[in-house]
Structure 1
Amino acid sequence: MIPALPFALAATVLYFSAGLWQAMALARRVALRPHPIQFLGGLGAVSHAVVVYFSINATHGVNLGLSESASLACWMMAALLIVISLFKPIIAAAAVLLPVAGLSVMAVVSLPGNMIESGFTPGILVHIATSILAYALLSIAAVLSILLAFQQHALKKHHLRGIVQVLPPLVRMERLLFEAIGWGMFFLSLAIVSGFLFVDNLFAQHLIHKTVLSLMAWVLFGVLLWGHHQKGWRGQRAVRWTLAGSALLLMAYLGSKLAMTLIY
């Protein structure tokens, strides 16, 4: 990990700088300028990638401890946010997600794990990759739902300045939210199917909670998408269901790692 320390410091500073800039823009303290935020966040993601490589690369396999897994997921989350923001107006989520990614870099440096795994088949790699993509996209959706809730509250109170001036129009925000949920559900479905196909004994004691929580999150997001398209669900209901599903997925992804860390 020592060779990665300069990159860890760089990633942390870049992430927090970009996140703070975006937070100040949401509060209308500075002008909203997406390109510098994308540039800083992109450099942070590149530096973070080096940290991820050094932290998970082990002599006889891959280190997927709690902090390493969290760092890997947060790197994917930050990288996706920056890339997608080049095409969709979701950079506002950087105010939350990039500092979280910075914290994950600090955690993997200060609290390294030692859970070495090896012998990954192509099917297992597909399961891991789709799980991380699903978590990253649905985390972005969770932050978009929080921003949407603030926007709805401001409009309800007829506060037309501040965050309302920075975010896209309400209808566009809702569309972005459900696009993120839709893609997140796509990869979550692939993760669940590949888990049943390629993971031995998916309902073993150390995986049962991850499996059940992931299935619960899948059902919840599925019902939300159905309700949105068939019943017109939106607004605060969409916010609550998104946050609930994201919380289940967080417990499934990191809770299983925490349990395995305590057991082993």
Structure 2
Amino acid sequence: MSSASLAVAAALLYFAASGIQLLHLRQKRPSVSRSVVGAGIVALLCHAVVVWDTVFTHPGLSLGVYKVPALIFLIMNVACFTALVSRPLQNLLIALFPLSGLALLVASFSPDTGSTETAMSGGLYVHIGSSLLAYAVLTLAAAQAAIVAVQDYQLRHHRTRGIVSMLPPLQSMESALFELLWVGVIMLTLAIASGMVYMNDMFAQHLVHKTVLTIVAWFLFSTLLWGHYQLGWRSQTAVRFTLGGFALLMLAFFGSKMVLELVLQRG
């Protein structure tokens, strides 16, 4: 089966699994059903094959703006499935799966816009890998923060029906959020440190805005973690810091890639 056909099959499976999970949410089922897990795993396997074919070219990596989201969503899906063993993140699948399907379709049917990275050192692979892991986990944290924001708002206004009644307790949701933030910040720290060591110049003209925005995002996330454990920050404060840091991180990564590849037409 061709890569394009696998992408379409994976997208359909993702859409179906998302619909089933949404139905279970409305029915207030606390756990993930076998049908969602089964469809998700098959879609994930197809997803991995498509990413291997479109991103891991021979030789090197094709990390164009249309290709890399499929890789990031693959990492996000693996991370989310892994965390589901012990954390209430199942409702993230409702949005995560359809977006994964769309990212796969875009990666499969869009042209290459970036250059292929070849002859990279092991340290540069560490930088790229930790960066992608950081983006993936912190994107999950941002999605979790959005749900926490809605849940906290509803509870503050004494609205206990609707979506609030379908979600795990707020404390559990916040605990999951901060665990994601911890993992994301550790990966982001490794990405920044490895970039400083193994890249020629992270403050070169075409990279300086990306580097500065990433460091500012790291400070926001780190400040939030410090404030949570030292000052008891939670709920809306955690949401604001998380979404603010996420916005800076996405602007640093995708904003710079879009300008370089689509506007300036440079890889």
Counterpart secondary structure, 1:34: coil
> Cα deviations across residues 66-115 of structure 1 (Å, max 9, x unaligned)?
11111111111112111211222211111122211111111112213142
Q: Is the 8 A contact 1:70 1:254 kept in 2?
A: no
Counterpart secondary structure, 2:67: helix
Structure 2 residue aligned with 1:9: 8
Over the aligned positions, Cα root-mean-square deviation in angstroms equals 1.7
Structure 2 residue aligned with 1:248: 248
Structure 1 residue aligned with 2:168: 168
> Cα deviations across residues 208-234 of structure 1 (Å, max 9, x unaligned)?
121111101100001111111111111
> Cα deviations across residues 119-163 of structure 1 (Å, max 9, x unaligned)?
111000000111111111111111111111121122223232332
- CA distance in 1 between partners of 2:105 and 2:79 (Å): 20
- CA distance in 1 between partners of 2:233 and 2:49 (Å): 42
Structure 2 residue aligned with 1:25: 24
The one-letter code sitting in structure 2 at the alignment partner of 1:188 is L
Structure 2 residue aligned with 1:158: 158
Structure 1 residue aligned with 2:228: 228
Structure 2 residue aligned with 1:81: 80
Q: Is the 8 A contact 2:31 2:90 kept in 1?
A: no
The one-letter code sitting in structure 2 at the alignment partner of 1:118 is T
The one-letter code sitting in structure 2 at the alignment partner of 1:55 is T
- CA distance in 2 between partners of 1:73 and 1:192 (Å): 18
Counterpart secondary structure, 1:45: helix
Q: Between 157-166 and 233-242, report the one with greater CA deviation.
A: 157-166
- CA positional deviation for 1:57: 3.3
Structure 2 residue aligned with 1:217: 217
TM-score, length-scaled by structure 1? 0.93
Counterpart secondary structure, 2:2: helix
The one-letter code sitting in structure 1 at the alignment partner of 2:32 is P
Counterpart secondary structure, 1:57: coil
- CA positional deviation for 1:252: 1.6
- CA distance in 1 between partners of 2:5 and 2:223 (Å): 45
Pick the aligned partner of 1:34 from 29, 32, 35: 32
Q: Is the 8 A contact 1:206 1:259 kept in 2?
A: no
Q: Between 191-200 and 71-80, report the one with greater CA deviation.
A: 71-80
- CA distance in 1 between partners of 2:177 and 2:156 (Å): 19
Structure 1 residue aligned with 2:184: 184
Identical columns (%): 39
Counterpart secondary structure, 2:202: coil
- CA positional deviation for 1:4: 0.5
TM-score, length-scaled by structure 2? 0.92
Q: Is the 8 A contact 1:127 1:194 kept in 2?
A: yes
The one-letter code sitting in structure 2 at the alignment partner of 1:56 is V
- CA positional deviation for 1:32: 5.2
Q: Aligned pairs, how many?
A: 262
Q: Between 76-85 and 251-260, report the one with greater CA deviation.
A: 251-260
- CA distance in 2 between partners of 1:155 and 1:117 (Å): 49
- CA distance in 2 between partners of 1:30 and 1:174 (Å): 20
Q: Is the 8 A contact 2:88 2:172 kept in 1?
A: no
- CA distance in 2 between partners of 1:146 and 1:16 (Å): 21
Q: Is the 8 A contact 1:22 1:32 kept in 2?
A: no
- CA positional deviation for 1:60: 4.0
Q: Is the 8 A contact 1:25 1:166 kept in 2?
A: no
- CA distance in 2 between partners of 1:247 and 1:22 (Å): 27
Q: Between 129-138 and 206-215, report the one with greater CA deviation.
A: 206-215
- CA distance in 2 between partners of 1:66 and 1:242 (Å): 24
Show structure 1 runs of 5+ residues with no match: none
Q: Between 15-24 and 206-215, report the one with greater CA deviation.
A: 15-24
Structure 1 residue aligned with 2:193: 193
The one-letter code sitting in structure 2 at the alignment partner of 1:11 is A
- CA distance in 1 between partners of 2:144 and 2:58 (Å): 39
